[in-house]
Structure 1
Amino acid sequence: RYCYHVAGAVGIMMARIMGVHPDAGETLDRACDLGLAFQMANIARDIVEDAEADRCYLPQKWLEEMGWQQGEHALPENRFRLASLMPRLIALMEKHEAAAKLGARQLRFRQRWAVLSAARIYGAIGRKVLNRGQLAWDTRTRVSAPEKTWHMVAAFFEAVRNRPPPPAEPITWSRHDFKPLAGW
Structure 2
Amino acid sequence: MLEKIRMLIESRSEKMGFQNVLDDIGAPADGGDLAQYGPLLDSLDAASANALRGLYRQNRSFKFSFEHVMGVKVRFGGANLFDLRSVLGGLNALPDDFVPFDRTPDDNMVVVAARSGELTLFYNDSGTDDFAPMQVDLAQYLRLLDECRGLLNWQVASMHRAQAISSEARDAFLEDLRSVFPDADHRLF
Q: Which has the larger strand fraction?
A: 2
TM over 0.5: no
Q: Higher helix proportion, which one?
A: 1
TM-score (ref. length: structure 1): 0.28
